[in-house]
Amino acid sequence: MASEFLKTEISDGVAVVTLNRPEALNALNSELLAAIGETFTELGNDDNARVIILTGEGKAFAAGADIAEMVEYNAAQGKAYSELGMKAFRAIIECPKPVIAAVNGFALGGGCELAMSCDIRIASVKAKLGQPEITLAVTPGFGGTQKLPRLVGPAIAKELLFTGRMVKADEAKEIGLVNKVVEPEELMNTAMEMANKIKAFSPLTLKYVKDAVNQSTEVSQTAGETYESDIFGVCFSTEDLKEGMTAFLEKRKPEFKGK
């Protein structure tokens, strides 16, 4: 679905998706959530986009779910809203392309859950992240209780979830919530530099690696290692592997075609 709340630009193999509700600090209303889900599903099937960067317009990445929309919900409506957000963010997690979050400001509640759905998080020094839902007498609804412990460990996750405390970018990096912290003016350049490095590799292999890492949080280590052996073998049926190994032996740069 087309939405004024979401902008997408693709150039030279990199798609930049921008949340575009700056007047509301990119709060995640139903229209924006639906647009996120549809956009990442489409980009997953678009050969022109090999890596995706997600960021927010204005001062925030996403300040959270839209409280003005939620305030009058009943239990059934609240559950449906949660399911809509879960579906949207699952489209990011399951997107076969690497997704980099460029966190330019507040990433709170649903905004933090959105950032955690991405594969890599680069934050501006001005960014603040957290799950403050407890202050509103509501639990996280878009996967925060599941994603946060996997990134920072259960104890730190419980502290942040129980207190609603926001963390600044440097602390977020220290606890493993973000990968890298940069000055605001370098945020998009850093994300683009990483995207350009990643896009040079085989899109098929990147998909397999992302799938395998995602599996690691959901299955036993034995099952995950079995899956890794499977995809390792599958790689030997691809043209990209032959090109990569031949290029290595010939001491030249490979040209991967995603086949």
Catalytic residues, which ones? 113, 133
Q: Is the dihedral of CA 219, 223, 225, 227 positive or negative?
A: negative
Strands 99-103, 106-108: pairing is unpaired
Rounded to whole angstroms, how far apart are CA atoms 23 and 21? 6
At a CB cut-off of 8 Å and minimum separation 6, what does 201 contact? 256
Residues in the chain: 259
Residue type, 211: D
Rounded to whole angstroms, how far apart are CA atoms 37 and 43? 10
Residue type, 32: L
